[in-house]
Chain A
Amino acid sequence: MKTWIKLAWRNIWRNKRRSFISIASVLFAVLFAIAADSFERGSYEMQIENMVMFSTGYIRIQDVLYEDEPSLDHMMMYDDALLDVLDGFSDRIEYTVPRIEGFALAASDRRTRGVMVMGIDPDQEDRFNGLSERLVSGSWLEPGDESVLLASGAADILGLDVGDTLVVIGQGFQGINSSGLYPVKGIVQLAVPDMNNNMVYMPLAAAQWFFGADDMVTSLIVMPDRPRNTERLAGDLQTALDDEWYAVLTWQDMMKDFLRAMEMDMAGNKMIILILYIVIGFGLFGTILTMMLERIREFAMMIAIGMKRYQLALVCLMESIFLSLIGVVAGVIITFPITFYFNRNPIPLGGEMADFMAEYGFEAVIPTSIDPVVFVSQAVAIFVIAFLIGLYPVYKVFRLQVIQKAK
């Protein structure tokens, strides 16, 4: 085998310029494909992470009816019975984040506006999404506070500042009237404009009182010890909980539409990469074909003197694989530092694109993904192409008429 490898290796360097051109074409294909895939995946990973960390969490437990009709009437009990079940999974759950969410009218002495009131456990919420780091004035909530945090956009619209009083009027559990006066304890700046114009955060107990929903929450976010254990943990939790009352959803369940759109978008990108690979494939095929045709007499001689056809075919196949492998490895070596840099330093977007992304609630940056899948999938794709191309000389070797070529 060592000799076949040596022979194949030396054969590809018979015409250095031609081999370098072939390798370069593979290299640039890999570079382009990895870059495109990496930016696309990176962008989606960031969006998913944003949504998971600020909205859905990895796992969410809620009332079975809440997903179809997210109303306060479909809250679930957040009591000892539920906590006992969760205790049974304490080694697999990092922490939980209870939330109660409902719409209300918020008013200052001059303006009124519809807002989203979110009752939170300040410590757990902060651990979940680092909300306290977004505090721009005032101070962070304590669990027993009877005050609120106001998003900066909403504060501007209502003309309120720290220390002012916010009037909140709404409808609570099973249609009860709810109202209250809450001092603004702090103002937070949220990245997503829509949220920044509408959010009011309140300690969980205060929100339960406001909505008339003692021991109730609209959802409980569950953070697994490891994100990759999400599905298994969700399945086990669903088994442990009464499925007549509780629904356990993973982030994939909660983002079905987004994930479907993402897959469609990625499929389009894959088509472009596929076309690129076809072009590169033909380039590589041209090289392999030329390499084969100019040595057909040599092949015949080798068979004539006693080389088995399969041995010769193996050498030809290795040549094709070596050429592509060098291109792939070089492509990955060059691309990895670039993708790593842009993973750590995402490209900030400006202009309309930034506005467009912000409108959809995403940070206007494009990071890259350094998920090994990005690199491995391209390497495998090129390997498969090289292998398929390498089958042509194999076919020709098995069909070769020795006598016509060996003289």
Chain B
Amino acid sequence: MTVIKTENLVKVYNSKHLPVRAVNNVSLEIEEGEFTAIVGPSGSGKTTLLNIIGGLDKPTEGKVTIADTDITGLSDSKLIDFRLKNIGFVFQAYNLIPVLTARENVNFIMLLQGRSQREMNERAEELLTQVGLSDKMDVRPNKLSGGQQQRVAVARALASHPRFILADEPTANLDSQSAMNLLDIMWKLNQEENITLVFSTHDQRVIDRARRVVTLVDGSIAKDEVREPVVPAQ
């Protein structure tokens, strides 16, 4: 079942001297439970496309439908609500709230959703245990390594029971071991909970794990291939 659909997406940034077409006529359909990697050289429009899919940016032309909702027509406030209920974000720079502990960072999303304290605590413990941070729940981000912070970010993204996780170069700041750990976690989530994953990445290790790889060049889809991913060793 198609859960993410973009139709003739165009995004033009107006610079002073000349307009830049960051995304150029991109039409894409992503199936539920798919692990998709959007790849391409720097400046190819990966992040812009991901931002438009996530409702963080508006396209100049075209339409994005997510789970039967045309998000390009939603107001700012409704988009925030939509993201909260449907999408989990993982950012390259982790973007945890530095004054909150790992547990509180994970709770934060659920708090925005109006969950009970008990429910929040149970879910946060479950998720942080799942990402291997059961002993770091009450530690603030500045006491965690980059890999640990990114795992908290993943736990936070999962806390709201999203249907999709959008990750923008999630392994870019991680060492090799941390990157592999993170990918294992994401793989597991994808396989066990059927969460749809869309990554923008340069990282070959991420690309290897993806079932579908969409290559962008100059804002347009240059290649869209479905293949057998590399399965992590058990």
Complex CA–CA separation, A11 to B98 (angstroms): 9
Minimum CB–CB distance for A253 against chain B, Å: 59
Contact A303 B91 (CB under 8 A): no
Q: Scoring B residues 180 to 215 as 1 if CB is less than 8 Å from chain A, else 0, what string do you get?
A: 000000000000000000000000000000000000
Among A61-69, A207-215, A305-313, A348-356, the one that faces the other chain is A305-313
- Chain B residues near A303 (CB, 8 Å)? 80
Q: Does A135 belong to the interface (CB within 8 Å)?
A: no
Q: Does B178 belong to the interface (CB within 8 Å)?
A: no
Among A99-107, A183-191, A222-230, A399-407, the one that faces the other chain is A399-407
Contact A298 B95 (CB under 8 A): yes
Minimum CB–CB distance for B51 against chain A, Å: 6
Closest to B55 in A: A304
Q: Does A158 belong to the interface (CB within 8 Å)?
A: no
Contact A407-B168, Cβ < 8 Å, known A3-B111, A306-B84 = yes
Contact A304 B56 (CB under 8 A): yes
Q: Does A259 belong to the interface (CB within 8 Å)?
A: no
Q: Does A127 belong to the interface (CB within 8 Å)?
A: no
Contact B91 A402 (CB under 8 A): no
Contact A304-B92, Cβ < 8 Å, known A14-B98, A407-B168 = no
The prevalent SS among residues of A at the interface is helix
Contact A301-B95, Cβ < 8 Å, known A306-B83, A306-B160, A307-B112 = yes
Interface set, chain A 293-329, CB cutoff 8 A to B: 297-298, 301-309, 311
Contact A305 B109 (CB under 8 A): yes
Interface set, chain B 56-73, CB cutoff 8 A to A: 56-57
Complex CA–CA separation, A309 to B54 (angstroms): 17
Q: Does A7 belong to the interface (CB within 8 Å)?
A: yes
Minimum CB–CB distance for B94 against chain A, Å: 9
Size category, A interface: 20 to 34
Contact A403-B56, Cβ < 8 Å, known A306-B84, A307-B80, A307-B112 = yes
Size category, B interface: 20 to 34
Complex CA–CA separation, A201 to B113 (angstroms): 82
- Chain B residues near A18 (CB, 8 Å)? none
- Chain B residues near A3 (CB, 8 Å)? 108, 111
- Chain B residues near A305 (CB, 8 Å)? 83-84, 88-89, 108-109, 112, 156-157
Contact A14 B56 (CB under 8 A): no
Q: Does B7 belong to the interface (CB within 8 Å)?
A: no
Contact B89 A304 (CB under 8 A): yes
Contact A298-B80, Cβ < 8 Å, known A306-B160, A403-B56 = no
Q: Scoring A residues 5 to 30 as 1 if CB is less than 8 Å from chain B, else 0, what string do you get?
A: 00100110110000000000000000
Minimum CB–CB distance for B153 against chain A, Å: 10
Taking beta carbons and an 8 Å cutoff, which residues of A are in contact with B?
3, 7, 10-11, 13-14, 297-298, 301-309, 311, 402-403, 406-407
